[in-house]
């Protein structure tokens, strides 16, 4: 979507907010399914691209156990 100019780039969003973003979460229907069903997307097997992106953002933010 970014390449097709249907959404703002990460850089544009960072500049607008004045904050460094931890990552970009790709659009994924599994995000809605996991939310509606009450299960954690990052524990999906096989993992989804959105789940992996959320996990990476959590690592960068220091929100996963064993990180600071």
Cα end-to-end span (Å), the chain: 33
CB-based burial of residue 12 (10 Å sphere; 0-12 exposed, 13-18 middle, 19+ buried)? exposed
Q: Where along the chain do its domains lie?
A: 23-68
pLDDT, residue 52, reads 92
Give the C-alpha separation, 53 to 42, whole Å: 9
Query: What is the mean pLDDT for each group of 10 consecutive residues in the chain (68 residues)?
Result: 68 91 88 91 89 91 69
The answer to whether the predicted template modeling score (pTM) of the entire model surpasses 0.95 is no
Give the C-alpha separation, 49 to 65, whole Å: 21
Give the C-alpha separation, 17 to 40, whole Å: 28
pLDDT, residue 65, reads 67
39: its two tokens: 């299960």
20: its two tokens: 């460094």
């Amino acid at each position: 979507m970014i390449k097709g100019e249907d959404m703002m780039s990460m850089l544009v969003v960072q500049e607008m907010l004045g904050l460094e973003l931890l990552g970009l979460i790709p659009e994924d229907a599994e995000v809605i399914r996991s939310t509606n069903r009450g299960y954690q997307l990052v524990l999906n097997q096989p993992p989804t691209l959105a789940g992996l992106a959320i996990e990476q953002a959590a690592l960068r933010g220091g929100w996963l156990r064993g990180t600071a």
